Amino acid sequence: MSGHSKWSSIKHKKGAADAKRGKLFSKLARAIIVAAREGGGDPTANLALQNAIEKARSYSMPKDNIERAIARGAGSEGDGDAYEPIVYEGYGPSGVALIVEALTDNRNRTAAEVRHIFDKHDGNLGGSGSVAWLFERRGIVLVPADGTDEDELTLAAADGGADDVERDGSTYQVSSAPEALSGVREAIEGAGFAIESVEVALVPKTNVTVEDDAAARKILRLMDALEENDDVQDVYANFDIPEAVLETVAS
């Protein structure tokens, strides 16, 4: 899980800057709209919507923005947007497996753009199911390790329904079943711990270790290029880059 949590931590910090430009909020709103359109506007009865809201909150998306996105998707402010989810799978440099989740109103455009990004960055787009078996969907809460008592965090997380707490460099990764994510977040916040990010993510079951700076840089460039695409919501990969190398190349 180390590759995921390290990259998620760096991505979240970068996301805070993206949010100021409005680009990230647009993607978060799109996810809320689609979840509300497909499962209704009540988050207590719609797990996908609940998780989309949790993620938006972790990036400090304003409450009014969240409520407007729910209304658009649920239909009280029009018919909602005609986005549909689509998933791409493939391999990047050093044999790293990637899963790209997108929401698009034009499948042909998005497919062409994603394929171009893979080709440009020494990756190979694969077929459906080619790498999905290497990942599992989990609820993930990242908590800064600095000043955090691991035993107290573990107790609070367990009370909320978490399965595991694992330290990875500068963060603790608290994992749970996706349906338990909201309760885990509430328990951790209620115990007074700071939270870095909250999301339902695809977590790798096994990792590919990448210790070479040049190879790591290629992988992160591919990740960045995919995430910069307007239709791409999330990118998951099974790399394990040592923290010192990751921070150097990501900077």
pLDDT reported for residue 93: 94
Between 121 and 78, the higher pLDDT residue: 121
Rounded CA separation 233/142 (Å): 19
Judged against a pLDDT cut of 70, whether residue 6 lies above it is answered with no
Judged against a pLDDT cut of 80, whether residue 246 lies above it is answered with no
What rounded mean pLDDT belongs to the chain? 87
pLDDT by residue (tens digit) across 228-240?
899 999 999 999 8
Judged against a pLDDT cut of 50, whether residue 1 lies above it is answered with no
pLDDT reported for residue 241: 83
Q: What are phi and psi of 211, to 5 degrees?
A: -105, -15
Judged against a pLDDT cut of 60, whether residue 78 lies above it is answered with no
DSSP 192-210: T---SEEEEEEEESS-EE-
- Does the CA dihedral 165-199-59-115 come out positive or negative? positive
Nearest CA among 238, 240, 246 for reference residue 89: 238
Who's near 164: CB < 8 A, 6+ residues apart? 174, 175
Rounded CA separation 207/213 (Å): 17
Judged against a pLDDT cut of 80, whether residue 2 lies above it is answered with no
Domains of the chain in start order, with CATH, are 2-74 (1.10.10.200), 84-133+206-250 (3.30.70.980), 135-204 (3.30.70.980)
238: tokens are: 């099974």
Who's near 108: CB < 8 A, 6+ residues apart? none
Nearest CA among 222, 246, 216, 209 for reference residue 13: 246
Please measure the distance between the N-terminal and C-terminal CA atoms of the chain and give it in whole angstroms.
21
